[in-house]
Amino acid sequence: TMTYSAPIHLDGSGNARPLRRMSFDGSPGEGRFNESWLQDLLFRYPGSIPFRDVDPSLGGVVPLCREMHTSAGPVDLVFVTTAGKIILVETKLFRNPQARREVIGQILDYAKELTSWRFEQLAAKVASAAKRDSKYLLESVREQATDFNEAAFVDAVNRSLSRADMTLLIVGDGIQTGAEALVGFLESRAGLQFSLGLIEVAIFDSPDGGRFFQ
């Protein structure tokens, strides 16, 4: 478990000001901080997600698409490592108890659905969600990988899919005790291939009128 204190802004004169945490829940003037906004920010800035804190084995991570269609529902964010491991991210603002109960089961359903896919189906679904052509997945990884071996990458993706050897992340504005206990239980079960992590996000105001995202 990792914890962080509230950030403090220090100006050029050394004056200190604790930053005020802002709400995601549609308070007046703050309604733009919704799940769609969070998805877009995480997709455009994948470095804001501490992937390797959840799964130290992960290497370079490539963002692929938002809202990828599956028979279990749309996956919020899909990433892949340059070594061919699939990463699914579900964003959730915990506004009600139902959201807290359902979010872990939801992302597990997505992973279960993907175990019946092969690389070609994943590439087609990613391309459709991104509104790109069928070569989009391979081209995206090739741009960021050194010594890219297409055949080895495709084989690795197929292993990730068939074994559910994926990293599943739930990113939200509050992590509940009950959800933490469930994650610990799931990760302790023998035979499960996936890594499951909960990541809390926060927004703070800034003296210059901007926002600080953590």
Q: Quick one: pLDDT at residue 17?
A: 87
Among 144, 179, 126, 148, CA closest to 61: 144
Q: Quick one: pLDDT at residue 179?
A: 61
Q: Quick one: pLDDT at residue 211?
A: 85
The pTM is what?
A: 0.86
Q: How many residues does the chain have?
A: 214
Neighbour count for residue 94 (Cβ, 10 Å):
19
List CB contacts of 14: < 8 A, sequence separation 6 or more: none
Averaged pLDDT, groups of 10, the chain, 214 residues long? 75 86 60 81 93 86 97 96 96 67 82 94 98 96 93 97 92 68 54 77 84 85
